[in-house]
Amino acid sequence: MTRTDPLDVPRPDAQLHLGVFFQGVNHWTIWSDPASGSQIDPASFRKVARTAERGLFDAFFLGEGLRLREVDGRIHDLDVAGRPDAITQLAALAAVTDRIGLVSTSNTTFNEAPDLARRLSGLDLLSEGRAGWNVVTTDNAWTGENFRRGGYLDHADRYTRAEEFLTVARALWDGWKDGAASGSPGASTWAAPGAVRRVRHRGAQFDVDLAPTLPRSAQGHPVIFQAGDSGEGREFAARNADVIFSAHGSDFDDALAFADDVRRRLLSAGRPEDDLRILPGTEIIIGATEEEALEKKRWIRLQQVTPATALGIAGLLWNRDLSDRDADGPLPKEDPVVAENDGSFGARRIADPYTVVAEWREKAEAGGWSLRETVIALGPQRGHVGTPAGLADRFTHWVRHGAVDGFNVTPYLIPDGLDDIVDLLVPELQERGVYRTEYTGTTLREHLGLREPLTHRSTTDGRRAG
Partner 1 sequence: MSGPALRLAVELDGDGAHPAAWRRAAHSPDHLLTPRRVARVAAAAENAGFTLLTLDDGVLPPGSVPDTVGRIGAVERAAFIAASTSVAGVAPVVPLTYAEPFHVSSQLASLDHISVGRAGWVVGEETQPEAARAWGRPLVEGAAARASESRDGVAAVRALWDSWEDDAVVRSVATSRYLDRDRLHYVDFTGDTFTVKGPAIVPRPPQGQVVVLGHPDLVPAEQLDVALVAGRGLAAVATAAAGAGTPRVFAEIEVALDTAHATAEERVADLEQHAPWTDRGRLRHVGSAAGLAALLERLRGVVDGVRLHPLVLDEDLPELSRLVLPHLFERRHAVRPSAGATLRTHLGLERPANRYATAAVPAGEVTR
- The answer to whether residue 368 forms part of the interface with partner 1 (CB under 8 A) is no
- The answer to whether residue 109 forms part of the interface with ligand FMN (CB under 6 A) is no
Residues 332-371 that bind ligand FMN (CB under 6 A): none
Separation CA 198–CA 212 (nearest Å): 7
Whose CA is closest to 414, among 6, 73, 33, 111? 33
Site for ligand FMN (CB under 6 A): which residue of 165, 245, 412, 435?
Answer: 245
Per this entry, what is the length of the chain?
466
**Residue 18 near which of partner 1, ligand FMN, none (CB within 5-8 Å, type-dependent):** none
Site for ligand FMN (CB under 6 A): which residue of 90, 94, 171, 227?
Answer: 227
Q: Is the CB of 110 or the CB of 369 nearer to ligand FMN?
A: 110
- The answer to whether residue 81 forms part of the interface with partner 1 (CB under 8 A) is yes
CB 66 within 8 A of CB 105: no
Q: Which residues contact 192 (CB under 8 A, 6 or more apart)?
A: 177, 179, 180, 182
Buried b / exposed e over 254-293, threshold 16 CB at 10 Å, is ebbebbeebbebbeebebeeebbbbbbbbbbbbbeeeeeb
Whose CA is closest to 135, among 266, 239, 211? 239
- The answer to whether residue 65 forms part of the interface with ligand FMN (CB under 6 A) is yes
Separation CA 306–CA 316 (nearest Å): 15
**Residue 95 near which of ligand FMN, partner 1, none (CB within 5-8 Å, type-dependent):** partner 1
Site for ligand FMN (CB under 6 A): which residue of 72, 128, 229, 420?
Answer: 229
24: left (phi over 0), alpha (psi -120 to 50) or beta: left
Site for partner 1 (CB under 8 A): which residue of 55, 215, 222, 406?
Answer: 215
Where are any strands of DSSP class E within 238-350?
243-244, 277-278, 281-282, 284-286
Shortest CB 243 distance to partner 1, Å: 22
**Residue 290 near which of ligand FMN, partner 1, none (CB within 5-8 Å, type-dependent):** none
Site for partner 1 (CB under 8 A): which residue of 11, 35, 152, 209?
Answer: 209
Q: Which residues contact 380 (CB under 8 A, 6 or more apart)?
A: 250
Q: Is the CB of 109 or the CB of 387 nearer to ligand FMN?
A: 109
For 394-410, the DSSP string reads HHHHHHHTTS-SEEEE-
Residues 85-114 that bind partner 1 (CB under 8 A): 85, 87-89, 91-96, 110-114
CB 54 within 8 A of CB 100: no
**Residue 419 near which of ligand FMN, partner 1, none (CB within 5-8 Å, type-dependent):** none
Helix (H, G, I), strand (E, B) or coil at 116: helix
Separation CA 201–CA 113 (nearest Å): 11
Q: How far apart are the first and last CA of the chain?
A: 43
Site for partner 1 (CB under 8 A): which residue of 5, 6, 10, 184?
Answer: 184
Separation CA 114–CA 143 (nearest Å): 21
Site for partner 1 (CB under 8 A): which residue of 148, 333, 341, 438?
Answer: 148
The residue range among 191-199, 341-349, 354-362, 407-415 that interacts with partner 1, by the rule CB under 8 A, is: 191-199
Q: Is the CB of 10 or the CB of 183 nearer to partner 1?
A: 183
The contact mask relative to ligand FMN for 293-332 (x = CB under 6 A, - = no) is ----------------------------------------
Residues 278-337 that bind partner 1 (CB under 8 A): 306-309
Shortest CB 3 distance to partner 1, Å: 46
Separation CA 199–CA 327 (nearest Å): 58
- The answer to whether residue 247 forms part of the interface with ligand FMN (CB under 6 A) is yes
Site for partner 1 (CB under 8 A): which residue of 54, 72, 78, 345?
Answer: 78
Q: Is the CB of 1 or the CB of 75 nearer to partner 1?
A: 75
Q: Which residues contact 275 (CB under 8 A, 6 or more apart)?
A: 242, 266, 450, 451, 463
What residues line the site for ligand FMN (CB under 6 A)?
63-65, 105, 136-138, 227-230, 232-233, 245-247, 281
